[in-house]
Structure 1
Amino acid sequence: MRKHMPKTFTLLASSALLVAAASSAQAQADRSDWPDNFTVGTASQGGTYFVYGSGWANFIADELGVSGGGEVTGGPTQNLALVHTGDMAFGLTTMGPASDAVKGESPLAPGMQMDNVCAMFPMYETPFSITALADSGIESISDIPDGARIGFGPAASTSDTYFPAILETLGVNFDRRNGGWSDLGGQLQDGLLDVVAFAAGIPIPAVSQLEVQTDVNIIEFNEEELATVLENFPVAEFMIPANTYTTLEEDARAVSMWNFAIAGCDLPEDFVYEVTKATMENNDRMRSVHRSAETSIPENIKHNTVLPFHPGAARWYEENGYEIADDMIN
């Protein structure tokens, strides 16, 4: 014989279904102004930005069910401009170029204050490191010969913006070359370059590839050079761990800048909230994208003192106990 449900149970069940339906409808409504797809500005192939940015874009696309991917660009300086103009939803940048962009001093758009660029989450520190072939005899910065052909990465990249000035300050006279990291690594191996000055998250894919194919020297700053650079440039002291590369036998002295993922400030708040939530709550998945993502954690938001946070990102941080000053939220 069929048993009848108590009326109170039926009413509770009906209420639960109505609440669930309302929640589902609300979730659907929250997506109504979301973009159909998104693009992440990275940098050249062979660099960490491309690997990190493309992997992160694929993760977010899978997690949120929105089509998206990484795109090759000229790097941090161009990414700021592309996000500011709305040509790309997201990008990756370093704090030096970000500071220039906010002040209207970007070399790509002098006089334009890029006020439509908001911070989302911390990525990692970018060490400035120098690589030469072992048979070149270059084992220190002072060994770099006058007129050395040095590759500084893509034009207007963080490396190209700051590394030439750093080496000039240290008294190095060089012939400046530009290109993608993979191309420059190939030119170094072929003897077309004497040195490549990398500013990229570690391990740098192009350096790891070089190590497989030939013997290289990874050149560190000595203490005097380090002090000079710290005094004259917006960088911090950094040690490249010996286990980063097979070439290194001990930690190597370097300098670094922090990297942050950026978003257009006019992107929907709920969309950026969900992107930030997925990224910050899945660090294991992020580390599988690139090893450097071990520092892509909310505690490191303190390293952004330049760009306002997107309100969607700020909401996630504040909900999870991380404080952001009101004047640092767009």
Structure 2
Amino acid sequence: MKLTTLLAATTVVFAGQAFADGHVDRTDWPTSFTVGTASQGGTYFAYGSGWANLVAEELGLTGGGEVTGGPMQNMALVHTGEAAFGMTTMGPAAESLNGTNPIAPGLAMDKACAMFPMYQTPFSVTALTSSGITSVADIPAGAKIGFGPAGSTSDTYFPRMMETLGVDFERRNGGWTDLGGQLQDGLLDVIAFAAGVPVPAVSQLEVQTDVNIIEFTEAEQAKILETFPVSQFDIAASTYTTLEADARSVSMWNFSIANCDLPESFVEAVVDVVMSDNERMLGIHKAARSTVPANWDKNGVLMWHPGAAKWFNENAGASIAADMIYGG
């Protein structure tokens, strides 16, 4: 067992050196790339800009993160090739494949391929302590709730969740940093976050004021699990200084995506940079604790990019079937 693990680790190291040292034919590689992220103040922007910079540095290319409207827009940008890479959650990915992405209704966005697993997106609610809101049931009728950027995972699913739980609200959209400022100024009653934890905007709020991070009750969690494509999740108490115990939540998996027509060796090299050294990814964002090869099987929606599938099958003991690989 130890020998197998050592050999697998050695394979990953050698693969990384080959890509970094230029021992791969790069004639069809782009010289620059962009990664579709989301709004500033959210996890997508911090995480996506971080791995974009890491890949650019390691592979000697020009690349970086781009502010977008989040998962739905990223599916559209990557499908059309306007962005080489992006990040999405499984719900918006499924809707985009089915032609129900509100950005382009009727268009099946099947040119966006899975590249690597990122992390789970918990759904959580934050209010100012001064509001007296300590539970979902406490949210007053007609409350102004910020759901993040229009078309984001949060904006797509959290309003439906709130309606399912019987909350009456006025919907507000905007970047996470902007919504955090509105909450602090009393212009919002609640922010409904769907983002990898810790959410930068929540961490910033904790420093500036007293907040309540509101968990779902067992009954609320069960109702959401029954109705939406999410999984059970607990936000660890160590995530925020405000939390004194783990907070009951639900989550949806995130995957990075690549335009399906990008060169196989290029995408394989990008995956190698991100997946071969988790410590570097953790230095970018704590949510990257889940950005590990073993989570390749969390994608049951998107076709895999051939370069990504090759990396996981050869280096991570994955068994991605040919009928789940684009062009296979």
State TM-score, norm by structure 2. 0.92
1:30 shift after superposition: 1.2
Match of 2:325 in 1: 329
Residue 161 of structure 2: SS of its match in structure 1?
A: helix
1:123-272 equivalences in 2 (<5 Å):
123-272=118-267
Q: Distance in 2 between matches of 1:168 and 1:318?
A: 42
Q: Distance in 2 between matches of 1:158 and 1:169?
A: 17
After superposition, the CA RMSD in angstroms is 1.3
AA aligned opposite 1:279: V
8 A contact 2:296–2:312 mirrored in 1 = no
Q: Distance in 1 between matches of 2:92 and 2:308?
A: 21
1:27 shift after superposition: 5.0
Q: Distance in 1 between matches of 2:75 and 2:204?
A: 29
Q: Distance in 1 between matches of 2:146 and 2:22?
A: 49
**Number of aligned residue pairs:** 307
- Choose which of 103, 106, 120 in structure 1 pairs with 2:98: 103
Q: Which runs of 5+ in 2 are unaligned?
A: 1-17
1:27-38 equivalences in 2 (<5 Å):
27=22, 30-38=25-33
Match of 2:35 in 1: 40
Q: Distance in 1 between matches of 2:307 and 2:50?
A: 22
Match of 1:82 in 2: 77
AA aligned opposite 1:322: A
Q: Distance in 2 between matches of 1:27 and 1:187?
A: 48
- Choose which of 28, 40, 51 in structure 1 pairs with 2:46: 51
1:159-207 deviation line (CA, Å, top 9, x unaligned): 0000000000100000100000000000000000000000000000000
1:29 shift after superposition: 6.7
AA aligned opposite 1:260: F
Residue 228 of structure 1: SS of its match in structure 2?
A: helix
1:55 shift after superposition: 0.6
Q: Distance in 1 between matches of 2:253 and 2:154?
A: 13
- Choose which of 60, 64, 70 in structure 2 pairs with 1:65: 60
Match of 2:301 in 1: 306
1:326 shift after superposition: 1.6
Residue 101 of structure 1: SS of its match in structure 2?
A: helix
Residue 93 in structure 1 maps to residue 88 in structure 2 = yes
1:95-140 deviation line (CA, Å, top 9, x unaligned): 0000001111111111100110100000000000000000100000
8 A contact 2:86–2:257 mirrored in 1 = yes
Q: Distance in 1 between matches of 2:249 and 2:270?
A: 32
**Considering only CA atoms, is the larger Rg found in Structure 1 or Structure 2?**
1
Q: Distance in 2 between matches of 1:327 and 1:191?
A: 52
Match of 1:290 in 2: 285
Match of 2:11 in 1: none
State TM-score, norm by structure 1. 0.91
8 A contact 2:115–2:305 mirrored in 1 = yes
AA aligned opposite 1:178: N
**Deviation >4 Å, runs of 4+:** 26-29
Residue 274 in structure 1 maps to residue 266 in structure 2 = no
Residue 150 of structure 1: SS of its match in structure 2?
A: strand
Q: Distance in 1 between matches of 2:311 and 2:151?
A: 33
Residue 210 of structure 1: SS of its match in structure 2?
A: helix
Q: Distance in 1 between matches of 2:163 and 2:97?
A: 26
